[in-house]
Amino acid sequence: MQSSRSKPCSCPSLKLREVASMYFTMVAAFLVILVVALQGSAPRHSDFPYKVPLDPQGLLELSWNVSYPEQAVHFQLLIRELRFGLLFGMSDRGEFENADLAVLWSDGHNSYFGDAWSDAKGQLHMDSQQDYQLLGARRAPEGLYLLFRRAFSTCDPKDYLIEDGTVHLIYGILEEPVHSLQAINISALHGGLQRVQLLKPNVTIPELPSNMKTMEITAPDVVIPSQETTYWCYMAELPAGFPKHHIIMYEPVVTAGNEALVHHMEVFQCAAEFDSFPHYNGPCDSKMKPERLNYCRHVLAAWAMGAQAFYYPEEAGLAFGGPGSSRYLRLEIHYHNPLVFKGRRDSSGIRLYYTATLRPYDAGIMELGLVYTPVMAIPPGEDDFILTGYCTDKCTQLALPAAGIRIFASQLHTHLAGRKVVTVLSRDGRERQVVNADGHYSPHFQEIRMLKEVVAVFPGDELITTCTYNTEERSRATVGGFGILEEMCVNYVHYYPQTQLELCKSAVDPGYLHRYFNLVNRFNDEEICMCPQVSVPQQFYSIPWNTFNRDVLKSLYGFAPISVHCNKSSAVRFPGEWEKQPLPSITQRLPEPVPRCPPAPGPQPAAPVPLDLGRLRR
């Protein structure tokens, strides 16, 4: 939990704490009055614009808003069927151990709310600093609404540090009455996890044109398979002769009742080099799926559970239709059905908003990071192995316009071993700005995220993408590649104006990797076959992964020259020398962000808040 716990910071003087205490008391009192005033009616949707179901049955629904001036998140939890309480909280990867929790519990007669934490064994403890601040609780026809507040950072080492990127939310339902917090047995709870981006960017929504049209790319009344995980593919087709338009916005269309089953969705455009694509409606991993559908990989839209509508900047739109653009689209839906519901029908998808009045700029998508190649590998048994891909100054100098480009959104991507991803903009050897970062990245939660601020990239700049992997449960090396058990390190950045540069990535020079294999052979008793017919993956699989071999590989990736892929959309490199290029030299790093701890509302006893919820029954 070290990476997500609040970091030490200076705390305010007692005088300031007293003033803050009065302020937060007044705020809390006002909100409680507001809750009472709303008795019998649901809070307005606009008060909590972000919403996600926590459990597969939809019995727990979380809504929230983000206050950047207050540096706090306000939560509203709707409990449709209240038993004897629940746990809600955050942890590094969705574990119930070492978690930061808000707990509601009841002995059947009296109910309590408190801020708690769990230790490495899952035992609950009341937090000495009550940072989940209860704002109100009330019953409505649809269930119990629980309102509470939590600062991003709290100065409490037992608390989770709420950061940009993915947050793993956990929940547990109390089925039986308990007489104390310590009596709660986490292992016996009915619980689960949900991943969200809590800190949504506070971006201005651009004005939409009056001649805007919509198009829905949706599944055709699919019966969701009765298995936990399904990726469903459906082919759609634009009308013949469909001219060039700009997509300026898109949003999800989720079938009512399936909100907890539709995990994420993407719309891909197919390659223009093919005149036609076969129709298909079925599982993406089926042997019946036509091979040609693998050429539908250009992302037009992507949505994940908890995400809102996606807006393009008013200066740009994503082009589709017209000459050089395929008429064929592939919808991919990830259904997450852990309770194995049978017979559920679904017509979910994505609604595109588009206009024939083209905006000044076409938006583009550029791949940053590592080339999909087995020369980049991760030894087994690693808890935080780092690989880095480079978009070099030489490539941006050649391929970007003099006025530069503006990055406004980003989608990070790895396969199953990925744990962290970050892209940093460097200029003249100095790190200038984080483009996008996710310190709790999950390969099971990937979405296109609008950036809090547009990032300007100019010719000669470098874009450096670093991925951290965990292979503790693997027994052999993990190599780069397209397979799900192979690895990737990618940032798909969305920018304008569109250029010819579609891919700016790197990999270690193959010749230097060959020297590494020779070195391993020389210093190990076991011989690694260096025969030409033996593939790079096979050579990695045969390495005995002692400390020496691990450390030398890490060192190799940290100093060896790289092969740079500075590619046009045709997959052809820009003219130039791209092999054995030196690693970019970074002379000045960005400082680590220091959490800003808010004024604490005065010393508070480590005691729960009593709630009058009446007598609870099984």
- The 3-state DSSP class for residue 393 equals helix
Give the position of tokens 């680590």.
Answer: 592
Q: Determine the Cα–Cα distance for residues 308 and 276; give it in Å rounded to an integer.
A: 33
- Beta-bridge partner residues of 268: 299, 330
Q: At what angle do helices 547-559 and 510-523 cross, to 10 degrees?
A: 160
* Phi, psi dihedrals of residue 571, rounded to the nearest 5°: 75, 10
Residue 121 corresponds to which tokens in the numbers above? 């064994």
Full 3-state SS string of 114-173: EEEEECCCCCEEECCCCCCEEEEEEEECCEEEEEEEEECCCCCCCCECCCCCEEEEEEEE
Residue 346 neighbours by CB distance under 10 Å? 21
In 3D, which of 462, 412, 456 has the Cα closest to residue 562? 462
Q: Among all chains, which residue has been given the structure tokens 């949003």?
A: 251
Query: In this structure, are strands 296-304 and 262-270 parallel, antiparallel, or unpaired?
Result: antiparallel
Sign of the torsion formed by the C-alpha atoms of 279, 324, 447 and 483: positive
Is residue 231 among the annotated active site residues? yes
Pair type for strands 490-496 and 361-362: unpaired
Contact by Cβ (8 Å): 337, 226: yes
Distances (CA, A) of 344 to 203, 222, 232, 255, 334: 36, 8, 14, 10, 14
Q: Find out whether 373 and 489 touch, Cβ atoms under 8 Å.
A: no
CA 459 to chain centre: 29
Selected catalytic residue, list 280, 295, 336, 413: 413
Local structure of 395: helix, strand or coil: helix
Whether 353 sits among the annotated catalytic residues: the reply is: no
For residues 587 and 352, what is the distance between their CA atoms, to the nearest angstrom?
A: 44
Task: Assess contact for 450 and 408: CB atoms under 8 A.
Answer: yes
The three-state secondary structure class of 618 is coil
Output phi, psi for 531, to 5 deg.
-60, 145
Catalytically active residues are 231, 413
